[in-house]
């Protein structure tokens, strides 16, 4: 892989993960929802979009929307039975929900049309890439990068508008506990459900982008480990700061991908390196939590000035 190719690939991954990290930041950073099943949105978006585009032969844009709707609905629906759980139990419930989603796609190959498309543990290949025929093999990744950046920009603008609004004020108050917002007449459960729906749909968007970029998805790409990586991005970048979430995604992705070059310089086997990579990201989280509690970019104070 040439250097330029690699950099474009890296930028695309950064963009996709930045969307995931913005989504988790809305849930955890702003609303205090410790979602340990973030990867479920990613997975659902990827599968839903693949089904829409590959099996039902619909255009890419409908796949994108389909993925967002399915993942958003999932976020909304899982908030219903879990509405009364305490924070730690809620986190465990989301972790379990994400595993259920993954195992569902592992076992139920019919959902992807069965036969011709395989599915199940074999995964699904041949996922169409949007407007692929208009570009050469060399220029296409640049085009795809543009799609990803447009999606990232839209995600950033939408989530920032929300977190700056009166809606954002309410979810920030929920982060500190239910009592106050309840006493002020805010429907706390309703707000949490809406946050999960929005977080879910953007997580789903990232999944669509992932599926159509790689052209192949399988359940083992959506292990709980992915959630862990997204958490690292939010914690290192700075929780409750949308730019921080993006910066975190950039840093963790650089870190994650640079370790693959180490094998050229160090006498370590690739398998060992893969697990060392996780250890390194874990260390990064610990260091961030010990020495920069608020991450690289701190939460911004919302200021108002009189007239």
Helix orientation angle between 60-78 and 87-107, rounded to the nearest 10 degrees: 140
Which of 145, 198, 247, 253 contacts another protein by CB under 8 A?
Answer: 198
Q: Is 204 exposed, middle or buried (0-12, 13-18, 19+ CB in 10 A)?
A: buried
Q: Which stretch binds another protein (CB under 8 A): 60-68, 79-87, 185-193, 285-293?
A: 185-193
Asked whether position 183 contacts another protein by CB under 8 A, the answer is yes
Residue 22 touching another protein (CB under 8 A): no
Could you say whether residue 154 binds another protein (CB under 8 A)? no
Question: What tokens does 84 get?
Answer: 């009364």
- Taking the complex as a whole, the smallest distance from the CB of residue 184 to another protein amounts, in Å, to 5
Q: Using the rule CB under 8 A, is 193 a contact of another protein?
A: no
Among 96, 113, 143, 169, binds another protein (CB under 8 A): 169
| Shortest distance, position 182 Cβ to another protein, whole Å | 4
Q: DSSP state, 220?
A: G
| Cα separation, 122 vs 38, whole angstroms | 23
| Spatial contact of 291 and 266, defined as CB atoms under 8 Å apart | no
Give the dihedral of Cα atoms 42, 239, 277, 20; nearest 10 deg.
Answer: 20
**Two tokens at 307?**
């007239």
Among 1, 3, 184, 290, the residue binding another protein under the rule CB under 8 A is: 184
Window of 79-87, 89-97, 104-112, 163-171 that interacts with another protein by CB under 8 A: 163-171
Among 121, 177, 274, 293, binds another protein (CB under 8 A): 177
Among 8, 118, 149, 182, binds another protein (CB under 8 A): 182
List alpha helices for the chain, DSSP H. 3-24, 38-50, 60-78, 87-107, 140-164, 166-175, 179-183, 188-214, 224-237, 242-258, 262-265, 270-291
User: Minimal distance in Å, beta carbon 48 to another protein?
Assistant: 22
| Nearest partner of 238 among 223, 250, 253, judged by Cα | 250
At its nearest, how many Å lie between another protein and the CB of residue 111? 30
- Count the Cβ atoms, other than its own, within 10 Å of residue 106: 16
CB of 183 to another protein, least distance (A): 5
**Is residue 5 near another protein by the rule CB under 8 A?**
no
Q: What are phi and psi of 79, to 5 degrees?
A: -75, -15
Taking a C-beta distance cutoff of 8 angstroms, is the pair 71, 203 a contact? yes
CB of 103 to another protein, least distance (A): 32
Mark residues 242-281: x for contact with another protein by CB under 8 A, - for none.
----------------------------------------
Does position 98 interact with another protein (CB under 8 A)? The reply is no
Size of residue set near another protein by CB under 8 A: 32
Within 8 A by CB and 6+ apart from 108, the residues are 119, 120
Say whether residue 73 binds another protein (CB under 8 A): no
- Cα–Cα distance measured from residue 66 to residue 51, given in angstroms and rounded to the nearest whole number: 9
Residue among 119, 181, 204, 207 that touches another protein (CB under 8 A): 181
Judged by the rule CB under 8 A, the positions of this chain that interact with another protein are 158, 161-162, 165-167, 169-170, 172-173, 175-177, 179-188, 194, 198, 240, 299, 301-304, 306
């Amino acid at each position: 892989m040439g250097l330029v190719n690699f950099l474009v690939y890296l930028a695309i991954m950064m963009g996709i993960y930045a969307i995931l990290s913005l989504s988790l930041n809305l849930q955890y950073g702003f609303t205090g929802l410790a979602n340990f099943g973030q990867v479920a949105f990613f997975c659902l978006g990827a599968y839903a979009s693949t089904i829409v585009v590959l099996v039902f032969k619909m255009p890419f844009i409908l796949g994108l929307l389909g993925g967002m709707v399915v993942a958003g609905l999932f976020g909304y629906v899982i908030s219903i039975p879990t509405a009364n759980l305490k924070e730690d139990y809620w986190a465990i419930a989301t972790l379990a929900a994400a595993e259920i989603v993954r195992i569902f796609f592992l076992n139920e190959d019919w959902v992807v049309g069965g036969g011709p498309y395989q599915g199940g543990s074999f995964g699904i290949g041949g996922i169409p890439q949007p407007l692929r025929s208009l570009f050469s093999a060399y220029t296409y990744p640049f085009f795809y990068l543009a799609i990803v950046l447009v999606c990232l920009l839209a995600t950033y603008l939408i989530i920032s508008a929300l977190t700056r609004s009166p809606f954002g004020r309410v979810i920030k108050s929920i982060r500190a506990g239910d009592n106050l917002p309840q006493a002020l007449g805010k429907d706390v459960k309703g707000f949490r459900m809406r946050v999960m729906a929005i977080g879910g749909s953007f997580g789903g968007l990232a999944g669509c982008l992932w599926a159509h970029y790689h052209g192949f998805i399988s359940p083992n790409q959506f292990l709980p480990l992915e959630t862990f990586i997204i958490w690292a991005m939010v914690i290192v970048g700075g929780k409750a700061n949308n730019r921080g979430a993006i910066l975190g995604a950039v840093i963790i992705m650089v870190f994650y991908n640079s370790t693959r070059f180490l094998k050229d310089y160090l006498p370590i086997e690739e398998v060992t390196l893969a697990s060392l990579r996780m250890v390194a990201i874990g260390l990064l989280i610990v260091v961030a939590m010990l020495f920069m509690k608020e991450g690289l970019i701190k939460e911004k104070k919302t200021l108002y000035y009189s007239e």
